């Protein structure tokens, strides 16, 4: 398993030197400053590679750009309107330019409008750490009372509607603004910052697009770009919905194992793959992450390893970002399944046997509490997560090789 680290570029307050010190051997990044749907030029790709290759003192680093996350799919492509055909052509050209620079693994998502969504970006834990949280009642407060989306109450049960009304009645203006900012901030590191009016206009654009049509649009996108990826020797891998259930009445079609099976069958190619995010999928208690890795592992091209702690009192549910080895996902069993898949690939002679992963969404601990990192991407919290994951990997590899027996472990 290749240890990688997400980096947001020159404005990231975690330096390349610090990523090296954390023990990562590859970088996951994207050109966030380029508008969705536009071409990633060879010159911009090279600039990012040079930044990764250079330490703060100007000397060479040991790191290189290994995984693209994300090459965004524009809203026009997702809806199949306006400039969507031009955007697909641009996507193909971006793939050409990335392949020419030596990049092979491309993570993307097909979530409408919002990427990962949280109601709290710095939620206090009993031990003084902070983390991101999704509170279903607070989201209903935003949807029903702040955004005041038409028909919003149809998407919630009576208990949540009542709880949201009571919560809204106690909120002051500052709390309402903070909740709004958390929910419409867009993807961390991106150049998209949404206002309420912007969000409503985007929602209006999805009128008439149900789950079935949205799936078809996704498959049509892949039918266009996968032949290019195959020719270039690239692997596209779709990130799951985060959280894995419908929000704002929008279709969500990448939330379960069955969703991924349908995607693989619709465009049956090794280049059409999976980003297995144990946190996003783990927010649905019915998803079996180790089982998914066993059954769909040959198409898993990239891993996000993180954990969430579920509030089982709510359905679909509230959750917060837990420690990497504590939460809804059995991380040891999942990593064991990944190592088994890597061994199968080695025996089959696959060159992509070493699956890249990154520690995702760490908690803010120690000096992280004094930094202004991208929400979910603190230096020390992720370092802790990476160290824990590395320990699990080392122990399981020792068992597999026979250096350590199960009774000894």
C-alpha 331/C-alpha 389 separation (Å) is: 8
Tracing tokens 């032949």 back to the chain, one arrives at 227
Q: Is residue 260 within 8 Å of residue 231, measured between CB atoms?
A: no
Which helix or strand (DSSP H or E) is residue 159 part of?
helix 158-170
Q: Verify whether residue 360 is a known catalytic residue.
A: yes
Neighbours of 81 (CB within 10 A): 12
Burial class (CB in 10 A: 0-12, 13-18, 19+), 43: exposed
Token representation of residue 69: 């996350």
| 156, 361, 364, 368: the active-site residue | 361
Contacts of 170 (CB under 8 A, 6+ apart): none
Active site residue 239: yes
Alpha-carbon separation of residue 162 from 140, 144, 145, 315 (angstroms): 10, 11, 12, 15
108 is catalytic: no
Walk across the sheet containing 308-311 and list its strands.
Answer: 120-124, 130-134, 318-321, 308-311
Nearest to 303 by CA among 283, 286, 322, 280: 280
- Annotation says 336 is catalytic: no
Catalytic residue among 131, 237, 238, 277: 277
253 close to 259: Cβ distance less than 8 angstroms? yes
Total Cβ atoms within 10 A of residue 320: 19
Centre a 10 Å sphere on the Cβ of residue 62 and count the other Cβ atoms it contains: 12
Specify whether 238 is catalytic. no
377 annotated active-site:
yes
Which of the residues 120, 360, 364, 368 is marked catalytic? Answer: 360
Which residue of the set 218, 239, 301, 324 is catalytic?
A: 239
Of the candidates 136, 304, 320, 368, the residue annotated as catalytic is: 304
Identify the active-site residue in 156, 260, 320, 377: 377
Element (H, E) at 3: strand 2-6
Active-site amino acid positions? 239, 277, 304, 360-361, 377
């Amino acid at each position: 398993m290749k240890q990688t680290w997400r980096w947001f570029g020159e404005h990231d307050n975690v330096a390349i030197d610090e990523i090296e010190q954390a023990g990562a051997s590859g970088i996951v990044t994207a050109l966030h400053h380029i508008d969705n749907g536009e071409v990633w030029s060879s010159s911009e790709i090279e600039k990012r590679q040079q930044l990764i290759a250079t330490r703060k003192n100007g000397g060479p680093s040991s790191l290189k750009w290994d995984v693209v996350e994300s090459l965004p799919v524009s809203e026009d492509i997702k809806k199949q309107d306006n400039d969507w055909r031009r955007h697909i052509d641009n996507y193909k050209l971006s793939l050409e330019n990335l392949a020419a620079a030596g990049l092979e693994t491309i993570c993307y998502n097909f979530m409408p409008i919002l990427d990962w969504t949280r109601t709290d970006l710095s939620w206090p834990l009993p031990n003084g750490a902070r983390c991101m949280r999704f509170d279903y009642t607070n989201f209903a407060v935003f949807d029903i009372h702040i955004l005041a989306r038409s028909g919003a109450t149809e998407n919630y049960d009576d208990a949540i509607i009542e709880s949201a009304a009571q919560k809204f009645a106690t909120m002051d203006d500052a709390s309402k603004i903070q909740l709004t900012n958390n929910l419409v901030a867009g993807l961390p590191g991106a150049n998209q910052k949404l206002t309420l009016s912007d969000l409503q206009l985007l929602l209006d654009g999805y009128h008439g697009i149900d789950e079935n049509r949205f799936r078809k649009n996704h498959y049509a996108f892949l039918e266009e770009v996968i032949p290019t990826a195959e020719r270039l020797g690239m692997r596209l891998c779709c990130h799951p919905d985060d959280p894995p259930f419908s929000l704002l009445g929008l279709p969500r079609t990448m939330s379960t194992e069955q969703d991924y099976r349908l995607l693989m069958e619709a465009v049956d190619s090794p280049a059409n793959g999976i980003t297995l995010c144990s946190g996003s999928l783990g927010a649905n208690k019915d998803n079996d992450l180790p089982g998914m890795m066993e059954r769909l592992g040959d198409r898993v091209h990239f891993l996000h390893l993180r954990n969430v702690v579920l509030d089982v009192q709510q359905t679909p549910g509230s959750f917060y970002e837990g420690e990497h080895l504590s939460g809804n996902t059995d991380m040891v069993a999942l990593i064991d399944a990944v190592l088994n898949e890597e061994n199968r690939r080695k025996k089959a002679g696959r060159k992509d046997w070493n699956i890249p992963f990154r520690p995702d969404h760490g908690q803010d601990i120690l000096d992280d509490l004094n930094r202004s990192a991208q929400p979910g991407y603190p230096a020390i919290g992720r370092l802790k997560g990476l160290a824990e994951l590395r320990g699990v990997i080392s122990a399981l590899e020792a068992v597999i090789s026979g250096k350590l027996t199960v009774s000894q472990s």
